């Protein structure tokens, strides 16, 4: 989890303060501890030496040694350092001071003693005292020095890395924004998958029933017109689903080698017809242009959406729209305001389609949002033009970069990989189908009940007998029971227990030549991508109408 900037500052201050406190306390504390232990050891050694010296006098005069004060003072004076101030005394067992040498000492004092023995019996002790004041003064001076040194280190640790910390905070904030956008794109991907399967299934049921109802009514009736308008609205709803899939790069289409300049030039006639006359359009299209592997209709859609976005930003003012094509290296692609945010250029040349305008520009806070679906600064109901561009570019492993400033126009650059060699188009694999006469038996495999019921009505209207299965497992079982009469299979792609590809493979094991039509809400190129052991004879996109179903069956019959 990324730390907030104030948390980073607090942690940095805490660490710096901790190191400074350690320096300010450990050095004087360590000095005091070592010096104190040295002092104690020195006093103990001096006390033991004085006691051993005194024991000689005690042994010579066991009964009268307490009265030898001058002699004892002389013995205490031995091995005494003149530069060390201390008090030495000999005390008998009754606590009486027998002899003493004393300097002027300041409290607090440290006192150590050592016993005097006579034939194994304790007859007295030598006591030596020293003042702790000099040690405390030295420790205090060292503490002041350590505190100053700790303060300097705190300042260094707190201020010198500050720029790096702030830079790291900026990077972390950008990464957090990128992660949020990536999570959002991932969530939209899951949502689009649900739309492709469930929403398209429901729309298929609506459109199919509307089509059947319209066919039963003579033209001219109000009900006929109402149902026709409902059909148009349903088809526009299905288009929204396709736009969302395009935004997510899940509608790649079939690609071929294209000259980007020529492809853009072929779309200029229609483009000039829709651009207002007050907008001056200039072009710079080299010939020949960079070669890319793409789909011409998708390139036209990118160009149209960029141009529409540009002239709408010019509003009612006279302005200029500039379209240019060139080739750039990966190092020349800007890193700022680049989408998708997780895209990184490869070490290859890139074709650049640049559309610049002299319009109102885009605010900095909005640049990160303009590729979000349905985001618009104009009015509700718009906002899929730029997201569709991003989806098409994403499907090409390319990127879009934006430069804009309010009041100074915008520049959109689309970067697409340049093709360095001719890539042969993948031939569509087809499975030869046996002759299947109209009016035979169809096996319909569909998990959605509404779609299954509608498809059954459509097939019946086309003259076929229908056997229904709600998933692949049931389809295989019914095929075993009616293998001799089933002439064709219409199967959904996304189903529980056994999906369309698994169902196709299982049916082909039972009957290698059985013709199969595979149906899905996803784009045909995306569905057919990948290595599958068996291929269908035809593909039917959802939502489909009666004519689309009839055409798919006719392709199998042919």
pLDDT tens digits, one per residue of 14-48: 777 888 888 888 888 888 999 999 989 888 888 88
Q: Determine the pLDDT at residue 220.
A: 75
The end-to-end CA distance of the chain, in Å, is 60
pTM tops 0.75: no
Close Cβ partners of 302 (under 8 Å, ≥ 6 residues apart) = 353, 389, 392, 393, 414
At 509, list the tokens. 């094991």
Q: Determine the pLDDT at residue 250.
A: 62
- Regions in the chain scoring below 50 on pLDDT: 1-2, 380-381, 423, 425-436
From CA 211, how far away is CA 209, in angstroms rounded?
5
At 91, list the tokens. 């005390």
> pLDDT tens, 226-269?
888 888 887 777 776 666 666 666 655 567 889 999 999 888 87
CA quadruple 191, 194, 200, 205: dihedral positive or negative? negative
From CA 307, how far away is CA 319, in angstroms rounded?
13
Element (H, E) at 516: strand 516-520
From CA 53, how far away is CA 71, in angstroms rounded?
11
Q: Determine the pLDDT at residue 446.
A: 92
**195 secondary structure, DSSP code:** I
Q: Determine the pLDDT at residue 416.
A: 94
């Amino acid at each position: 989890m990324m730390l907030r900037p104030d948390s980073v500052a607090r942690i940095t201050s805490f660490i710096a303060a901790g190191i400074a406190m350690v320096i300010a306390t450990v050095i004087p504390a360590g000095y005091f501890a070592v010096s104190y232990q040295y002092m104690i050891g020195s006093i103990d050694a001096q006390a033991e030496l004085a006691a051993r010296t005194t024991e000689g006098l005690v042994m010579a005069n066991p009964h009268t040694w307490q009265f030898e004060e001058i002699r004892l003072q002389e013995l205490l004076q031995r091995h005494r350092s003149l530069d060390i101030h201390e008090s030495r005394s000999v005390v008998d067992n009754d606590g009486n001071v027998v002899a003493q040498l004393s300097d002027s000492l300041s409290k607090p004092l440290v006192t150590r003693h050592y016993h005097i023995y006579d034939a194994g019996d304790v007859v007295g002790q030598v006591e030596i005292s020293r003042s702790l004041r000099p040690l405390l003064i030295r420790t205090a001076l060292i503490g002041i020095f350590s505190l100053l040194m700790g303060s300097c280190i705190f300042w260094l640790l707190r201020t010198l890395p500050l720029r790096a910390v702030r830079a790291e905070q900026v990077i972390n904030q950008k990464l957090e924004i990128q992660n949020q956008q990536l999570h959002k794109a991932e969530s939209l991907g899951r949502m689009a998958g649900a739309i492709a399967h469930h929403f398209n299934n429901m729309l298929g049921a609506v459109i199919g029933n509307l089509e059947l109802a319209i066919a039963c009514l003579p033209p001219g009736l109000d009900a006929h017109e109402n149902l026709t308008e409902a059909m148009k609205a349903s088809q526009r709803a299905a288009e929204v689903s396709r736009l969302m899939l395009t935004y997510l790069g899940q509608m790649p289409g079939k690609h071929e080698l294209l000259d980007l300049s020529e492809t853009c030039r072929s779309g200029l006639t229609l483009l000039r017809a829709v651009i207002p006359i007050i907008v001056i359009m200039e072009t710079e299209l080299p010939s020949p242009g960079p070669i890319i592997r793409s789909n011409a209709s998708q390139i036209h859609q990118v160009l149209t959406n960029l141009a529409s976005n540009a002239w709408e930003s010019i509003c009612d003012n006279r302005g200029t729209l500039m379209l240019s094509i060139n080739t750039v290296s990966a190092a020349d692609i800007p890193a700022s305001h680049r989408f998708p945010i997780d895209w990184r250029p490869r070490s290859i040349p890139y074709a650049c389609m640049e559309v610049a305008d002299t319009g109102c520009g885009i605010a900095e806070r909005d640049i990160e949002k303009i590729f979000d679906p349905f985001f618009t600064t104009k009015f509700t109901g718009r906002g899929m033009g730029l997201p569709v561009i991003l989806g098409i570019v994403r499907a090409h492993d390319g990127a879009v970069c934006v430069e804009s400033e309010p009041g100074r126009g915008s520049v959109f650059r689309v970067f697409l990989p340049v093709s360095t060699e001719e890539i042969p188009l993948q031939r569509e694999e087809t499975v030869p189908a046996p002759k299947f006469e109209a009016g035979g038996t169809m096996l319909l495999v569909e998990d959605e009940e509404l779609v299954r019921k509608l498809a059954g009505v459509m097939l019946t209207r086309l003259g076929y007998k229908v056997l229904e299965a709600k998933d692949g497992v049931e389809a295989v079982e019914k095929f075993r029971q009616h293998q001799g009469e089933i002439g064709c299979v219409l199967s959904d792609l996304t189903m529980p227990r056994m999906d369309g590809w698994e169902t196709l493979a299982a049916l082909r094991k039972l009957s290698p030549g059985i013709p199969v039509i595979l149906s899905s809400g996803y784009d045909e190129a995306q569905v057919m991508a990948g290595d599958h052991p068996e291929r269908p004879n035809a593909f039917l996109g959802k939502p489909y109408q009666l004519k689309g179903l009839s055409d798919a069956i006719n392709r199998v019959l042919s």
